[in-house]
Structure 1
Amino acid sequence: MHRENYMNALREDIVDTVTRHLTPVAQRYGYSEMPLETNIKWRPMVLVIGNYSSGKSSLINEFLGAKVQATGQAPTDDSFTVLTYDDSVPETEGIQVVEHRDGKALLNDPEFPFSNLRKHGQRFAAHFQLKKINSPFLKDLAIIDTPGMLDSITERDRGYDYQEVLGDLAQKAGLVLVLFDAHKAGTVREAYKSIRDTLTAHTSEDRIIFVLNRIDECTSFNDLLRVYGTLCWNLSQITGRKDIPMIRMTYSSNATAAINKDSAPRTSFLPLLENQREDLKQTILQTPRRRLDHLASYVEIHGERLAHYIEALLAFGLEFRSFRIKKLFTGFLISLLGGSLVALLVMFLVGMADPTTLLSVGGIGAGLIMILWLAVFQRKLEQKFHSTRLEDLDSLTPVADQTRKDSWSAIRDLVYEHLKKNKGDYSLYELKLDLFDVQQVNDNATHDIREALSEFRVMSEDDLKKWEKDSVARKIYKKEQKEMADAEILKAGVRHLY
């Protein structure tokens, strides 16, 4: 219990850091439309994807301890289903669905981090749902079951972009399980695109686990080795990696029990792989603890990218200001020269010799020329600078190492779209202040988070108890200090009135 309290407190601190320091800057400059804490403020999530009939629902039912999700050989469920915990019904009454919510209600409920999925439209909302279940397996995490991936289906067939939805959910998830089954150890088109492009763009490799499911349906141990080898080969071709990614093997014991007794001898190898099933289960249950590392990485990644993003805007702004000043100075010189010529023409053509009158005429001429310059030439020159600079956007900030290259690759399009729309019209002073704030998060907050995680890994139960007592004391102290401060403010206000 003390360990969970420490984890929750650290998670709240991380979310608070993102909310107070990163999100305001990110939304102010178009880095993110949604608050950055949206992806991390809810409970840890495990995303389960795979080919149709790969046994996703059967495996989930096995973990939950009840038949919650529909199962079958053919595609049976074309919905994204969020499975989360509810303890309003005692477990003694049986594991069951306590509450069901449809997609429209779920997407508009601020309790859940799915509001950014509204962009995928009504068809997606109709295929999105939540089930609250009283299964103890879900006490510290949520599972997202997904529609089976197919070969010939298109965005038009589904009515929404499946890959985009998958990418948004993968970004929120602390763990992604990619399931295959013994009958289809290869990959269908949607699975290929998901593994090759979508997952790599929205999550890190350490969060992706490949699972060979339904191994109980192999006819023999040799058949299992053949299937396993085929899957290894296919994955190595998809991922482009020379090393073969680790593949865990599992099956649903409930599904195995339903196999005819005559087929039982062929599954004699299954007890040898029980450790694989247990390892997979424990990996899923460890998601909340691993999530702290993911949250720390989340702050580091977005802190670095946001700082790089603001650097690019600042560099553009400084160049634009320098260009504008030069052209304004040029316009000023031209207007002075033009005003002088006007005065000379008036003097020679009209014969006017009064210095005051000539000065007034020259001043009016210079003013008109300056207005013309600002209204026409200055604007066109600035527009040309803007379009030309956008064409050479890659030279805006230095990318000396791979980290900077990866960061620039992630934000380049965002910078382009923002500058195209905003045209660099913002306060450079505020940009510098915001950059300083984000850099402080990168330098100090991320270091403190990593330090707290390192301490957490070696803390004993006694250490955690002491921390909890100190934490309660700190909360009481902070509350007392706030009450005293509020009282002083009130007294000052009363004195001011009288």
Structure 2
Amino acid sequence: MHRENYINVLRDEIVETVANHLTPPAVKYGFSEVPLEADIKWRPMVLIIGNYSSGKSSLINEFLGAEIQDTGQAPTDDSFTVITYDEAVSDDPKIRVTEERDGKVLLNDPEYPFSTLKKQGQRFAAHFRLKKSNSPFLKDLALIDTPGMLDSITERDRGYDYQEVIGDLARKAGLVLVLFDAHKAGTVREAYKSIRDTLSSATFEDRIIFVLNRIDECSSFSDLLRVYGTLCWNLSQITGRKDIPKIRLTYSPNAAPKVGGAAAYRKAEYLPLLENQREDLKRSILDTPRRQLDHLASFVEIQGERLIHYLEALSTYREKRRQFRLRKILTGSLAGIFFGGVTALFVMMVGLLNPILMGTAAGAGALAFMLFWMGYVQKRREEAFHRHIVENVDALTDVEDQTRKDSWEAVREIVRKHLVKEKGGYSLFDLKRDLSSLRKRTARASQEIREAMSEVAALSDDEDAEFEIPILSINEVARPVGLVDDYFQDYRYNL
């Protein structure tokens, strides 16, 4: 089995692990409304976002080798477009759009991992679509083109929560490209929120690539440096990082102006020096299926940690509630005995000294008090206890290190919402049994995945794989991008 085929088998193995070990308790206890593997079972995806007119569609057409997306200086498309490979016409030498389907198909077909977006409503469904193409570039991945980000537009204008959609797609994607163009190296309001808040919470830094596009439209190399420096400054302010993230430089020759401009742009003295940047970006995108294996392995570990933390919090809640209930029942029982004694004393004081009558009165008094206690006092006390826990949900866990803090931050609101909705309506015995099983299975699965990935990481592209557990780790390999990249690296840190 060659490496590329092997990678596909590995991906299936990881998805099966999630489906068999993580999804059942996640759905059972309200950690997730949909199977966890729904986000990872489809092909690797590359999400492309950016300001309007940043050249997203032109760059996609450049990669695919045909005019698949409409292009223009003004915003030309306000839809989220999933572009995937059509194997049925793979032998056709002409690259083209072979099929188009509307958003309802994507949202309701279990083949695609987009069912979580149905909550965005009909307005979003009308701005969501699928395109199939026979471009070889799409053979092992899918691209997602997005509406250009603007300053003035609001959620009310769009009719759906744009940031929530971006976050959902970023969680599913193996790579996120954030595009800027040479004319607008600044960031509009939607871009600022996407980079600062949405992407930082939905995905990891190593999955985000910043791209300065349309560099062929800079009038000179010094103009390019000015634009580059402006973007570096803006990103450093947005991300809040001390180090400036790496920025790829690219352009689309086929999108250059036709009237005397295309040739002039290609003859610009600095463009030949940056061809390695364009090729590096393309390789990074094509390498998404391999790198996604590491992401999937991390997905198993991270989702396992979060699910375990979630179930631990629910278990702690049930333990606290049980202890609280037992204490209050004991208090009510003692109070009932006392009330029964008082009732017997009252009967004796009125002159009814019959032991049987006194015992009956004491029992009736104790029973009446216990019914009142259990039916009113105990119920109100437990409701107050529940509200207190919901308001102080952090008391359900210990966060002694950063890993625990991160996982708790991810599940904290899920725990709160579940307690508000379900009020702990589950068996503590079943919960502890499932939690113990989950710990063992997750630890074993994580170890097997990492061991197998380590064993096959050295496989060459043509080497056959004969390991029992097909898992592979492909870390992004740094590629030399030439002297100009070193120049830009020095320039960025001397700003």
Partner of 1:407: 407
**More moved, 107-116 vs 439-448:** 439-448
Q: What does residue range 358-397 of structure 1 map to in structure 2 within 5 Å?
A: 358-397=358-397
* TM-score normalised by length of structure 2: 0.92
- Residue 47 of structure 1 aligns to a residue whose secondary structure is strand
**More moved, 138-147 vs 444-453:** 444-453
Confirm or deny: 8 A CA contact 1:220 1:266 kept in the other structure: no
Q: Could you tell me how far apart the structure 2 residues matched to 1:421 and 1:326 are?
A: 25
Mapped pair 1:174 → 2:136? no
Q: Could you tell me how far apart the structure 2 residues matched to 1:342 and 1:154 are?
A: 69
> How well do the aligned residues superpose, as a CA RMSD in angstroms?
1.7
Mapped pair 1:302 → 2:303? yes
Distance 1:303 1:211, change over 3 A: same
- Residue 83 of structure 2 aligns to a residue whose secondary structure is strand
Q: CA deviation at 1:265?
A: 7.3
Distance 1:26 1:264, change over 3 A: closer
Mapped pair 1:337 → 2:299? no
Q: CA deviation at 1:259?
A: 5.4
Partner of 1:194: 194
Distance 1:90 1:204, change over 3 A: closer
Q: CA deviation at 1:91?
A: 4.5
Distance 1:259 1:322, change over 3 A: farther
Deviation digits for residues 150-175 of structure 1 (CA, Å, limit 9, x no counterpart): 11000111111110100000000000
- Residue 269 of structure 1 aligns to a residue whose secondary structure is coil
Q: CA deviation at 1:455?
A: 1.4
Q: Could you tell me how far apart the structure 2 residues matched to 1:461 and 1:46 are?
A: 22
Residue 307 of structure 2 aligns with an amino acid whose one-letter code is L
Confirm or deny: 8 A CA contact 1:303 1:441 kept in the other structure: no
Partner of 2:78: 78
Partner of 1:491: none
- Residue 245 of structure 1 aligns to a residue whose secondary structure is coil
Q: Could you tell me how far apart the structure 1 residues matched to 2:291 and 2:250 are?
A: 22
Q: What does residue range 434-445 of structure 1 map to in structure 2 within 5 Å?
A: 434-445=434-445
Partner of 1:285: 286
Q: Could you tell me how far apart the structure 2 residues matched to 1:264 and 1:248 are?
A: 19
Q: CA deviation at 1:356?
A: 2.5
* TM-score normalised by length of structure 1: 0.91
Q: Could you tell me how far apart the structure 2 residues matched to 1:107 and 1:302 are?
A: 23
Partner of 2:474: none
Of structures 1 and 2, the one with the larger relative CO (CA 8 A, separation 6+) is: 2
Q: Could you tell me how far apart the structure 1 residues matched to 2:119 and 2:233 are?
A: 37
Partner of 2:111: 111
Confirm or deny: 8 A CA contact 1:346 1:352 kept in the other structure: yes
Confirm or deny: 8 A CA contact 1:212 1:249 kept in the other structure: yes
**More moved, 221-230 vs 422-431:** 422-431
Partner of 1:488: none
Which 5+ residue runs of structure 2 have no aligned equivalent? 471-495
Mapped pair 1:239 → 2:244? no
Partner of 1:478: none
Q: CA deviation at 1:90?
A: 4.1
Q: Could you tell me how far apart the structure 2 residues matched to 1:407 and 1:415 are?
A: 12
Partner of 1:483: none
Structure 1 vs Structure 2: percent identity of aligned residues? Answer: 65
Q: CA deviation at 1:391?
A: 2.5
Partner of 2:491: none
Which 5+ residue runs of structure 1 have no aligned equivalent? 472-498
Residue 250 of structure 1 aligns with an amino acid whose one-letter code is T
**More moved, 35-44 vs 249-258:** 249-258
Residue 337 of structure 1 aligns with an amino acid whose one-letter code is F
Q: CA deviation at 1:93?
A: 4.0
Deviation digits for residues 208-248 of structure 1 (CA, Å, limit 9, x no counterpart): 00000011111111111111111101100110111010000
Confirm or deny: 8 A CA contact 2:81 2:146 kept in the other structure: yes
Confirm or deny: 8 A CA contact 1:219 1:266 kept in the other structure: no
**More moved, 169-178 vs 254-263:** 254-263
Deviation digits for residues 274-297 of structure 1 (CA, Å, limit 9, x no counterpart): 100000000000000000000011
- Residue 251 of structure 1 aligns to a residue whose secondary structure is coil
Q: CA deviation at 1:359?
A: 1.6
Deviation digits for residues 425-473 of structure 1 (CA, Å, limit 9, x no counterpart): 32111111121122123321111111111112113568634449x99xx
Confirm or deny: 8 A CA contact 2:459 2:465 kept in the other structure: no
Mapped pair 1:327 → 2:328? yes
Q: What does residue range 37-116 of structure 1 map to in structure 2 within 5 Å?
A: 37-116=37-116
Q: Could you tell me how far apart the structure 2 residues matched to 1:310 and 1:263 are?
A: 63
Q: Could you tell me how far apart the structure 1 residues matched to 2:466 and 2:27 are?
A: 39
Confirm or deny: 8 A CA contact 2:182 2:227 kept in the other structure: yes
Mapped pair 1:210 → 2:218? no
Distance 1:465 1:401, change over 3 A: closer
Q: Could you tell me how far apart the structure 2 residues matched to 1:327 and 1:456 are?
A: 59
Partner of 1:269: 270
Residue 296 of structure 2 aligns with an amino acid whose one-letter code is L
Q: Could you tell me how far apart the structure 1 residues matched to 2:53 and 2:158 are?
A: 18
**How many equivalent pairs are there?**
469
